[in-house]
Amino acid sequence: MAEARTLGESLRHQGVSRRGFLKFCAATASVMALPPSMVPVMAAALEKARRPSLIWLSFQECTGCTESLTRSHAPTLEDLIFDFISLDYHHTLQAASGDAAEAAREKAMHENFGSYLLVVDGSLPNENNGYSTIAGISNLEMLKQTAEGAAAVIAVGTCAAFGGLPHAAPNPTNAVPVSEIITDKPLINVSGCPPIPAVISGVLAHYLIFGQLPELDALNRPLAFYGQSIHDRCYRRSFYDKGLFAETFDDEGAKKGWCLYRLGCKGPMTYNACATIKWNQGLSWPIESGHGCLGCSEPNFWDAGGFYRALSIPTADIAKTAGYAAATGVALGAAAGVMNRRKTSAAAEKHEIVTVDDLEKSS
């Protein structure tokens, strides 16, 4: 349940030193792309904040989003964040089961009506209410019930944000994202299959510090983490700009670390923080491991043209056209509905651009 103690008091009670607390604030500011001048502001805000109640509901999902969060190393930013919130209901992580678990959800909703955070992973079956139930309650009904008293809803993972795998053709359950059901609450999409743990915790930290959701893009994703495409920040970008592409996964180009564009990399149309925050404690990320980006943080990525099919942008021209490469990702993102306040250059407009819709039609 939400605590009377402030976070500062709670952390001191747990033996977290002032120095450790400030280090945490600095790390959080860095992950959230905030300037160093924000660290004292964050520290002061967190010191006074109270642990909010958080209810986490899982619907049509694979538990990958929870796995992503819990597999982070310890002690971590994420551990600290979970000391900062009162996780009152979570199917996988809670000790309670059966009636006691549902009683905990109802108690948290009742005691914190209007102020608790609701996190959802998984899509909603909109075809048949009996298709997926928890404690005899349909997913749809449980979401509506729990969202009623929530201050804000955080859709974690591409299934909750955009429908994800359950939404892929033929979509037997008529899976829909949270945003199609809950339309009267502040809602943020933290997409990814799964999302990066530090992105989930960074969003929670932002809410705790500022008492509101962060600035969002056109798909309701936090700009701090989804404001740039994978392609914008990819370390293989210099090869792309020079027109040096691997043609197979084991050719000389692949061995030399050339661009994976022709092997189906969807980095130019994908907005996420993998290239900067990385995975596995910042150790590596898919493109660094030799595999193209699949576009997992974008809508319809399962259906959008095949994981190993190259986007059909004229790459030979790209390498010769100054400024085109930088503009390409923006143009693709914009075509997919992800403007992110960027401008498409005249150079990009001269070229044939393939959109997600085009890919879907031709697959």
Interface contacts to ligand SF4, rule CB under 6 A: 192, 230-231, 234, 236-237, 240, 259-261, 265, 267-268, 270, 272, 274, 285-287, 292-297
Residue with Cβ nearer ligand SF4 (156 or 287): 287
What SS3 state is found at 47?
helix
With respect to ligand SF4, which residue has the nearer C-beta, 72 or 146?
Answer: 72
Q: H/E element holding 189?
A: strand 187-190
Report which of 216, 1, 228, 229 is spatially closest to residue 108, judged by C-alpha positions.
1
- Which residue has tokens 């809803």? 153
**Residue of this chain nearest to ligand SF4 (CB atom):** 267
Least distance to ligand SF4 from the beta carbon of 345, Å?
17
Report the DSSP pairing between strands 150-156 and 53-58: unpaired
Q: Which amino acid is at 199?
A: V
204 vs 234, beta carbon nearer ligand SF4: 234
Nearer of residues 161 and 260 to ligand SF4, judged by Cβ: 260
Helices (H), 32-97: 38-48, 64-70, 77-84
Cβ closer to ligand SF4: 31 or 259?
Answer: 259
Decide whether 46 or 296 has the Cβ nearer to ligand SF4. 296
Closest to ligand SF4 by CB, 261 or 302: 261
Who's near 17: CB < 8 A, 6+ residues apart?
Answer: none
Nearest approach in angstroms of CB 254 to ligand SF4 is: 11
**How many CB atoms are located within 10 Å of the residue 244 CB?**
16
CA pair distance 179, 176, nearest whole angstrom: 8
User: What does R_g of the chain's alpha carbons equal in angstroms?
Assistant: 21
Distance in Å, CB of 359 to ligand SF4, minimum: 15
One-letter-per-residue 3-state SS of 222-253:
EHHHHCCEHHHHCCCHHHHHHCCECCCCCCHH
Minimum CB distance to ligand SF4, residue 333 (Å): 12
Nearest distance in Å: CB 311, ligand SF4: 8
Smallest distance from the beta carbon of 289 to ligand SF4, in angstroms? 10
Q: State the minimum distance, in angstroms, from the CB of residue 46 to ligand SF4.
A: 29
Distance CA 213, CA 149 (A): 17
Q: How far apart are CA 203 and CA 186, in angstroms?
A: 13
Q: How far apart are CA 300 and CA 338, in angstroms?
A: 13
Nearest distance in Å: CB 218, ligand SF4: 17
53/272 with CB nearer ligand SF4: 272
Q: Which two tokens stand for residue 131?
A: 């298709």
The tokens describing 341, both together, are: 């306040």
The residue (of 51 and 236) whose beta carbon lies closer to ligand SF4 is 236
Q: Exposed (0-12), middle (13-18) or buried (19+): which is 330, by Cβ within 10 Å?
A: buried
Nearer to ligand SF4, 166 or 286 (CB): 286
Q: How far is the CB of 213 from ligand SF4 (least distance, A)?
A: 21
Name the helix (H) or strand (E) containing 319: helix 315-320
CB 350 within 8 A of CB 230: no
State in angstroms the smallest separation of the CB of 253 from ligand SF4: 11
Which amino acid is residue 198, in one-letter code? A
